[in-house]
Amino acid sequence: MSKNKGSRILVTLECTNCSSNNNKIKAGVNRYITKKNRKNTPNRVELNKFCPYCNTHTLHKETK
C-alpha cells in the first residue's frame, strides 16, 4: 500500500529582485528549496534570504 501524502511539501523560493534588476554582479536568478507545512502555512511563503547574484539580502517568494 502507498503512504498518504504528508503535510510537509517542498517549495521553491525565488529572488524577486533578480528578475527586474539589470545591474547585477552575475547573470541569473537565485532559487532556494525548502520545506513548509501546508496545514500551518496554506499561503505562499516570503522570506528574506541572501542572493549571491544581487549580493544583498532580498525578499524571496514561493513559486508554483
Domain range for 14: 8-62
Concatenating the DSSP letter of every residue in the chain gives: -PPPPPSEEEEEEEETTTTT-SS-SSSS--EEEEEEETTT--SPPEEEEEETTTTEEEEEEE--
Q: Which residues pair with 56 in a beta bridge?
A: 51
Q: Are 11 and 34 in contact (CB under 8 A)?
A: yes
- pLDDT tens digits in sequence order for the chain, 64 residues long: 556 678 899 999 999 888 766 666 666 788 899 999 989 999 999 999 998 888 889 999 999 7
How many domains does the chain fold into? 1
Provide the grid cell at 48.
Answer: 528574506
Structural domain contains residue 3: no
The CATH number linked to 53 is 2.20.28.120
pTM: 0.76
